[in-house]
Structure 1
Amino acid sequence: MTTTDTTTTTAAEALRTAQAITAVGTDGRAPVLATRVTLEQGPRTVAHAELVATAHGVYGASVNGAPATESVLNPGWTVYESRLQVQRFDVTEHVRSGTEDVELSVVLGRGWFNGDFGFTDAEANYGDENSLLATLDITYQDGSTQSIATDESWTATDSPITFATIYDGQHEDRRLGAGDPRPVQVTEIDRTRLIEQASPLITRHETRHPEQIWTSPSGATLLDFGQNLVGWLRFTVTGPAGAEITLRHAEVLEHEELGTRPLRSAKATDHVILAGHDAGETFEPTFTFHGFRYAEISGWPGTLTADDIEAVVVHSDVRRTGWFESSHPGVNQLVSNSVWSQRGNFLAVPTDCPQRDERLGWTGDIAAYAATAAYQFDVSDFLHNWLLDVHAEASLPPLSFVPFVVPDILKLRKNGDDPFAEEEQEVPTAIWGDAVVWVAEALWHAYGDLERLRRHYPGMVLHLESVERALSPSGLWDTGFQFADWLDPDASPHDPAAAKADKGVVATACLIRSARFAAETARLIGEEADASRWQDLADRTLSAFTEAYVSDDGRVLSDCATVYALAISFDLLEESTRPLSAERLAEVVREAGYRVSTGFAGTPFVTWALSETGHVEDAYRLLLEEGCPSWLYPVSMGATTIWERWDSMLPDGSINPGEMTSFNHYALGAVADWIYQVVLGIRPAEPGYRRIRIQPTPGPGIDWAKGAYDSAAGRIEVSWEQAADGLHGRATIPDGAEADLVLPDGTTRPVGPGTHTF
C-alpha cells in the first residue's frame, strides 16, 4: 500500500493543479476520461513518474495503454463526507517505454459513491455525479518536472460498460463504439477531505477454476468453485458478434438450482455481448464484486470446460499472519471458514456480508470479531483506518454517537422502509457502539502501537459520553433500542432480536468493559483526569449491575449462557459469586446438550468463560458439538465460510426461511480467537507481544495441535500432542522476545528466544 511515509507532499498539495472533471451525456455507460500530452523531454529521460488520483466513484487508470496499478475499486470506501483517500502509483516504466506523447485514460464507475446502496431498495447515494481528480507528475533526469492534471482539456468517450453497480453486477456490450471525443465538465471535489491512502489497497489474490460443471434439473449450466469466495469470474472466449453470455452468482444451491433468495434485491449478474473478434475477448468485471461459490452461465459459445473460466479472489491487501491445524478435521475446517470469511468481508471496510443488498460496515460484527481478525491477518492499517472513519462518521451532525454501520450510507436512503425506526437510532447501542472501543483494544493487544491508540481515544470518548446520556437514573444501561444478543439460536428466524439474554444486562456489562479500557487508554496516553473519570464510570456502573442483576447465589438476571459468559469474561463478579456463576454457566451449557445457545453478544466469550474458570472439558465439548446449532454443524453441511445464522441452511438442505440469511458472515466465527489463544496457546502477555504467553490448554477430542503467528515481535510457533505419558510440546520464540511458558498444571517457566520443548 501507499502511505504518507513515502510521500513528501500532502494529498491536497499533490493535486493542487488538478480540477475535478466529470463526463456528461453518458446514457448510463461508464465513461473513459482521457488526455494525450507531449512530453517536454524524451521518454528515456524520465527519472520518475507518479500518478496521483482519487474519485467520486471508482476508477481504473491506464498510462500508455497499460494499467497504472494492479489494485482495483480505487479509492475504496471511506466516510466520503470527511475522508476521501488519494492513491499514488509509480508509473515510471509506463511513461519511459512510450513515445513522445503520453496518454492517460481513466474508466470511471459508480462504486460505493452512487451505486444505489442499502437494503430494501434504499438507493442510498452520496451524490449523483461521478468525477475524477488526478495528476501525472513527471520528473526528468535533469531535475525538471512536468505535470499532467485533470482539467477542461480532457475529453470523454464511452466504454463498453453499459451498467455496473456493486449489488447488481456489470454489463458490457462489446459491439458499441466509443463515440467521438466530447468535452468534459469541470466540477468540485472538496479538497479538505483528501487524505493519503490509509487502508490497504484492494487487489486480486488468487484464482480458482471450477471443480465441477454440470446441468441442473432446469437445464441451467452450473459451476462449483469448491469455496465460497468474493470476487468475480474472468474468461477469454471466441464467439460470434452479438453472442450474449450471462453469469449469475450464489453462495449455495437449493433444490439443485442456484440459491438466489438470500441475495434479496441484489441481482449479482454479469452480462457481456461479444463483438466477434477472431482473437478472442477477455471479460473481467472489475467495477463490481460478488460473494459466491456457485455460478450459472448461459449463452456460452461452444462447450464450456473448467480451463475456460476462473474465479478471481478479491479483497483488501491484508497479509496472512495466523495458522492453525489439529487432529480434528472439523475444527480445521472451522478455522479455514473463519479465514475465508475474513478475506471476503475485509474489502474496503469490514463488512457484514459480501453478497446481498447490504455489504455494510456493521459495527457489531467487527466488535465481536476483531481479536480473531488480528490473529489471522495483519489488520493494523485496515482497522486503524476504519476506526478513524467511525469517529469521523459519529462526529458528523446530527450524530453524536456511533451508528450501526460505518460508513453510514443508510442515512442517505431515498426509498424503502427503514427497518429501524428513527427514534431507535437516536441513542447509542451496546456492542455495535462499543466497536469503537473494542476494536481499538484488539489492535492495542495485537500491535502495541501507542500513537495509534492515542488517535483512537477520541472515538472512545464520544461513545462513552453518548452512553452516559442514555443511562437510566439507576445507573444501568437499560434504555433505548438494543440489538443485544442478536441471532440467539432460540429466536424465531423472523425475529433475530428476540434473545433470552436481558438487554439491560448485556448493555450494562458492555459499558463496564468499555469504560475500563477507556480508563486504561487514558492512563497510557497521559490523560489522568480522564482515566479517573472513566474508571469512576466503570465502578459506578459495576455497583449498579451487581445490585440489579446478580444474586447472592451467583445467578445473573435471565439465567442464560450469554449473561454468565459476559459477567465472567468482563470480570464483573465478586470473588464469592464468580465460582457460583461459573458453575451455573457450565450447567446451562450441559443442559443445552452442548448446543450453542448464544448470539452476537455471548458467542465470542462463552468458551473463554468456561475454560478460564476450570470448565475446560465443557468448553471443548461445546466447540466440538456437531448438532444444530453449533460451530461444527455448518461444517457438517459442507460450509466453507462462517454462516450468519447457526442454521442458515436447514438439515434438509433448504435455506433458512428468514429474510436475513447469509452464508459468509464472520461474527459467529469469533470462537477462533479462543482456538488460537487457548487450544493452541499463543497469547500476548503484553501489548504487541512485547512479552509472549505460551499456554496450550488441551482437552478431550483434540489429540494434537500446531500453529504459528507472525506477531509484531516476530514469528511464534507452537505445537503439542497428548500421549500416554502426558503432554509433549514445542514452542519457538522470536529473536529479541521473551515468553512465559504456562503448562496445564499451572507451572510457569520464563524462556527466551529459540525453540523450547515441554
Structure 2
Amino acid sequence: MKKKFQILFLFLFVGCSLCMAKKISVVYPRVEMQENPLGIDLKNPHFSWQLASDVKDVKQIGYEIQLAADLRDLKRGDNLIWKSGLVQSDKMQIEYEGLPMQSCEEYYWRVRVQTNHGMSSWSAIQRFSTGMLHAEDWHAEWIGENAMSNSGESQTELHTRLAARYLRKDFQASSHIDRATLYISGLGYYQAFLNGKSVSEDLLTPSITFYSETVYYNTYDVTDLLQEGDNALGVILGNGRYFWVRGSGMEGFGLPRLLAQLEIEYTDGSKKIIASDETWKVTSKGPIVANNEFDGEEYDMKKELPGWNLSGYDDSTWKNVDIMSVPCKRLLAQPSPSVAIMERIHPSSVTRLASGKVLIDMGQNMVGRLKASFKGKAGQKVVMRFAEIINPDSTLYVANLRSAKATDIFTPSVDGYFSWAPVFVYHGFRYVEIDGVEGDPDIKDFVGEVMYDRMQQTGHFETSDFIINQIFKNAYWGIRGNYHNMPTDCPQRDERHGWLGDRATGCWGESFVFDNALLYRKWLQDIEESQREDGVISAVSPRFWTIYAGDVTWPSVYILAAEMLYRHYGDATAIVKHYDSMKRWVEYIYKNSMKDGLVVRDEWGDWCMPPEAPELIHSQDPMRKTDGAILGSTTFYGLLYKMIDFARISGHSEDIDNYKTHAEALKKAYNKRFFNYETAQYGNNSVTGNLLSLRYGLVPDGYEKRVFNNVVEKTEKDCKGHVSTGVVGIQHLMRGLTEHGREDLAYKIVTNTDYPSWGYMIEKGATTIWELWNGDTAAPDMNSANHVMLLGDLLIWYYENLAGIKNSKESVGFRHIEMKPCFPDGLDYVNASYQSVSGKIVSNWTRTEGRFSWNVTIPANCSATLYIPLSLHPEKPEMAKAHSIQCEGDNWIIELGSGNYCFKSDM
C-alpha cells in the first residue's frame, strides 16, 4: 500500500501552512491567523512544522529547508538564501541559519522531511516579509498636534478628556506598482486609511507597552489599496494608554503622535517613500470628541469630515503638524497579533423600561464593543452605559466599575436611522442601558462584537457533568476577555492591568484553551521592562501602576510563563532572552527578601482565601491564613530548581551550583523553622502551607503521606470538602489532591454548587469567573465579575487529569504525552482535544452501563504512554502497533507511536 503523510508547519513568529506529502492541505488552525506574515524584524526567526499521516508510528528523521528572495528562484532551487540540505534531526522547530536577511523584503520558503516511511514532497511555498531591521531604515518622523487646546469640557483631576487627532497626506503614485507596504505606529491607538479604505481589520493598535521603553509598529501590505495618480493616506489617533487615562495615580506619557512610512516599489525596481513629516496636516476638530479606555468614546456627527481620507480633500483649515519627540528607547515590530473582532453575538433580550430607557441583556458577560443601529433625533444624545450586573429594579449596578464611566455617546446631526460603534475603546459588560433612542429597538439592531488578541482556540473540553462544562465555558469567556495585549486582571473597571500573580499557574491552563504563546512572549518583555536596576520587578506589567513589593509569589510568573512557553510550545526563546534579567531578580531576592535562609517578604499573602462567613471580604480566622514566609520560601525553592534548568538551556551552567546551594540551604532552614515532626504539619497547618511544601518537594523523606493527610483532613473537616486555599494554594490544589490518590475529593470540589465554589458562581447566574468567591455577598462593589485568578490549576487538571492529555516530564512541545486520566465516580465521559504545537491530541473516554471505551489520537512524530486501570480493562489490550504493553500495579501501561487508537472492554 502506498503510504501517505502530510506536513503542516507553523512559523513560530508568523505562522503558515505546509503541504502534505502527496496532497496539499491546510489543516492546522493557526495557519489562517498568520498565513501571510509581514514585517518581522528578527534576524534569526524560527521555523516550525508538524507532521500528519494516515499511517501509524510516523517518525521524522530528517528535514530540508529552502528559502529565496524570489518565488521563481525557489521553484527552480536557484539563488537560495538558505539551503539547509538534509539535516538528520527529529526537530520540528528550527532557527534560521541562512544568509543575512534584508530590511523590507519578501521571502519565500518550503520544507520537506524524511520519515521512517520515506521522504515527503515539498511543502506548499509560503512567504513572509521583513520589517525595519536597522534604525536607519526609518525616514519618518513622529508627528502630531502638540497642544491641549482641544481638551474640551468636563475635564477633571481624575477624568481626562482629549479629542482624537485626524492626520492626512496627499501624494502621487506612478503606474506599474509592484508592491506597497505601510509601516506604522500611532500612540496611543490609531486607525489608518488609504484612499478612504481601512488598511486592516486590526483594532486598538499598536499593542500596549510601557511606552517610554518600547513602542511597536505594525506592517500592512496595501498594494491593492494604492492607485495610479492621486492618493491619500489618513490616520485617526486615539489616546489609548499613551495619553493619561487618569489624571493621577496611573502612568501617562504624553500627547498622541504618529510615525508612518509607506514604501512603494515599482516593477522597474525603483522605490518611492511617503513618510510622516512636516508636510502632513492635522486637526482635532473631528467627530470623535473624546476617547478614554475607562470612560468611553463620544462621537458628534455634526463634526464629521466627509472625504477627509480621500485625495483632493480641502484641508486648508487644518493645521500643519508638529514634529513630536521620539517617545521610546526601542521601536520594534509588534511581536504578537493585534486585538480584533473575534466573534459577534446578539442580545438575549431588549426591553424598553418604564423610565423610557432601553435595557439590553447580551445573555453573556463579554468584552468588546456594541455595534448599535437605532433611530435618533438631531442634537439628542444617544447615551450607552455598560455594566456587568443589574439591580433588582433593572437599573445598572456600576459601583464595581469604580471611577470608570464606561459610557459611549453618539450625537446625531439630523433625524434618522444610524449604525455606530466606537473605535478606540472596549468594555466589559453583559448589560447596556441606552437613553435617547426613538421607536422600538429590536434584538437584531444590536451586535456585541467580542474583542481580544487575534488567536485560535486550541482546546475542546466536554464531560457528562453540567457544572464542569459550565465552569469551562465561564473560564473560556473570562480568559479571552482578559487578553488585550497583555493578560489583564479585569476588563471593565478603572484597572485592566497585567497583574503578575493572576497568571502564575493560570498561563499553563490557558495554553490548553488558546494559542497564547505570542501573547505571553510579548508580556515577558513587558515584565523585564518593569524591572528596576537592582533586579526587583513590578507586580503590574506594563507598570502603569508601579508596585515594587519585593516578594516572590506574584513575580514567579516571570519564570513560570517562560517555562510554559518552553514545555508546552517547545520555545526556549524567552528563557534565553530573559535569563540575565531573571537571574538579577533571583539575586535581588537573595539580598533583600531573605532572612535566616528564608524568604520573609510577602505582600499579599494567600489572597482571596475563602472567608469563614460569606459577608467577609477576607478571612479573620488566623488558622486559615498561611504565613507569608511559607508562601515565599516554598515558591522560591521551586523557582531555584527551574533556574537550574534555565541555566542549562541558556548555556549558563556556571550558575547551577549557586542555585543548588541556595535551594539546599533554604530547605534546611525551612523545615527547621516550620515543620513539626510530631504532627507532620507546616506552620499553622493550613492547606496551602502543607500543599506547597509537598508539591515543591520540601517535605522530609517518609513524611509525605502524613503531610498529605493533613491537607485532606483540613479540606474535608474545616472546609467541608470545599476550596480551602487562596490564589497561591489553588495553583496546586486540584493536581495535588489527584496525584496523591484523592481525585474523588478534587471532583467534589469542582462539582460543588454552594459557597465557596465555582459552581456557586454559576448558581448565582455568573457567565464568567468572579474575583471573589462571595462576590455577591461580601463586597459587590469590589467584585469584578470577570476575573480568572480563582481558576488556579483547574484547567490544567481538566486536561491533564480528567482527559489525560499531559506533556510528559522530560518532553517538550508534547512530543511525548502521558495519558493517565483519572476516572472519578459520577463522571460518565470526557471528550477532549488539544491542538498542540506538535499536532492535535485527542482523548475521548466513556464509562457507562458496564462498558468502557477510550479513543486516542497521537500526532505524527510524537509518542505516548497510556495508563488503563485494570478495573476498566481487565483483559490485556490487543494492540498490533504498540511498542510495549505491560501490567504494573493497577494499570496496563502501553507505549504507542503516532496514530488513532481505540480501547474497549466490558468491566
Same fold per TM (> 0.5)?
yes
> Displacement of 1:493 after TM fit?
4.5
Residues 506, 129 of structure 1: CA spacing in aligned structure 2 closer, same or farther, 3 A cutoff? Answer: same
2:687–2:714 Cα contact (<8 Å) kept: yes
User: In the TM superposition, what are the counterparts of 1:532-571 in structure 2 within 5 Å?
Assistant: 532-552=657-677, 553-571=679-697
Are positions 1:58 and 2:181 aligned together? no
For residues 292 and 155 of structure 1, what CA distance do their matches in structure 2 show? Answer: 37
Tell me which of 140, 143, 156 is aligned to 2:282: 156
For 1:431, the equivalent position in structure 2 comes to 553
Tell me which of 720, 729, 741 is aligned to 1:593: 720
For 2:771, the equivalent position in structure 1 comes to 644
For residues 466 and 472 of structure 1, what CA distance do their matches in structure 2 show? Answer: 9
1:58–1:111 Cα contact (<8 Å) kept: yes
For 1:576, the equivalent position in structure 2 comes to 702
User: In the TM superposition, what are the counterparts of 1:103-252 in structure 2 within 5 Å?
Assistant: 103-117=232-246, 122-157=248-283, 158-178=285-305, 180-190=317-327, 192-216=329-353, 220-252=357-389
For residues 188-244 of structure 1, give each alpha carbon's deviation from its aligned partner in whole angstroms, at most 9, with x where no partner exists. 225641011112211111111111112456554211111111101112345332132
For 1:35, the equivalent position in structure 2 comes to 169
- Decide which moves more: 455-464 or 586-595: 455-464
For residues 616 and 238 of structure 2, what CA distance do their matches in structure 1 show? Answer: 37
For residues 170 and 365 of structure 1, what CA distance do their matches in structure 2 show? Answer: 29
Structure 1 runs not aligned, ≥5 long: 412-424, 651-655
Aligned-residue Cα RMSD (Å) equals 2.0
User: In the TM superposition, what are the counterparts of 1:605-684 in structure 2 within 5 Å?
Assistant: 605-650=732-777, 656-657=778-779, 659-670=781-792, 671-684=794-807
User: In the TM superposition, what are the counterparts of 1:222-621 in structure 2 within 5 Å?
Assistant: 222-255=359-392, 256-276=394-414, 280-395=417-532, 397=533, 400-411=535-546, 425-479=547-601, 481-490=602-611, 493-495=616-618, 500-552=625-677, 553-591=679-717, 592-621=719-748
For residues 634 and 719 of structure 1, what CA distance do their matches in structure 2 show? Answer: 28
How many residue pairs get aligned? The number is 728
For residues 852 and 667 of structure 2, what CA distance do their matches in structure 1 show? Answer: 40
Residues 369, 529 of structure 1: CA spacing in aligned structure 2 closer, same or farther, 3 A cutoff? Answer: same
Tell me which of 683, 690, 695 is aligned to 2:820: 695
For residues 475-516 of structure 1, give each alpha carbon's deviation from its aligned partner in whole angstroms, at most 9, with x where no partner exists. 11113x421211111177455898611111111111011111
For residues 217 and 302 of structure 1, what CA distance do their matches in structure 2 show? Answer: 14
For residues 6-57 of structure 1, give each alpha carbon's deviation from its aligned partner in whole angstroms, at most 9, with x where no partner exists. 4434266476210110124434321101000111x12xx2111111011231
For residues 163 and 455 of structure 2, what CA distance do their matches in structure 1 show? Answer: 32
- 2:545 maps to a residue whose letter is L
SS of aligned partner of 1:303: coil
Which of 1 and 2 has greater Rg? 2
2:538–2:548 Cα contact (<8 Å) kept: no
For 1:753, the equivalent position in structure 2 comes to 898
Q: Provide TM-score, normalisation by structure 2.
A: 0.78
1:78–1:407 Cα contact (<8 Å) kept: yes
1:641–1:664 Cα contact (<8 Å) kept: yes
For residues 216 and 703 of structure 1, what CA distance do their matches in structure 2 show? Answer: 45
Residues 236, 148 of structure 1: CA spacing in aligned structure 2 closer, same or farther, 3 A cutoff? Answer: farther
For residues 172 and 652 of structure 2, what CA distance do their matches in structure 1 show? Answer: 57
SS of aligned partner of 1:214: strand
Tell me which of 806, 829, 842 is aligned to 1:717: 842
For residues 212 and 193 of structure 1, what CA distance do their matches in structure 2 show? Answer: 48
For residues 290-348 of structure 1, give each alpha carbon's deviation from its aligned partner in whole angstroms, at most 9, with x where no partner exists. 00011111111221101111111000112111110000011101011111111010111
2:609–2:618 Cα contact (<8 Å) kept: no
Structure 2 runs not aligned, ≥5 long: 1-33, 46-127, 152-161, 306-314, 870-889
User: In the TM superposition, what are the counterparts of 1:76-91 in structure 2 within 5 Å?
Assistant: 76-91=207-222
For residues 131 and 391 of structure 1, what CA distance do their matches in structure 2 show? Answer: 25
For residues 702-750 of structure 1, give each alpha carbon's deviation from its aligned partner in whole angstroms, at most 9, with x where no partner exists. 1111110001110000011223446421111111111111224333211
2:535–2:581 Cα contact (<8 Å) kept: no
Choose between structure 1 and 2 for higher RCO, CA contacts under 8 A separated by at least 6 residues.
1
For residues 503-540 of structure 1, give each alpha carbon's deviation from its aligned partner in whole angstroms, at most 9, with x where no partner exists. 11111111011111011111222211112211222222
Percent identity between matched residues is 28
Tell me which of 60, 68, 75 is aligned to 2:199: 68
Select the structure that is richer in helix.
1
For residues 560-592 of structure 1, give each alpha carbon's deviation from its aligned partner in whole angstroms, at most 9, with x where no partner exists. 221122122222212311100111111111111
> Displacement of 1:635 after TM fit?
1.4
Residues 494, 331 of structure 1: CA spacing in aligned structure 2 closer, same or farther, 3 A cutoff? Answer: closer
For 1:422, the equivalent position in structure 2 comes to none
For 2:116, the equivalent position in structure 1 comes to none
For residues 137 and 481 of structure 2, what CA distance do their matches in structure 1 show? Answer: 32
- 1:105 maps to a residue whose letter is G
- 2:651 maps to a residue whose letter is G
1:116–1:123 Cα contact (<8 Å) kept: no
Q: Provide TM-score, normalisation by structure 1.
A: 0.92
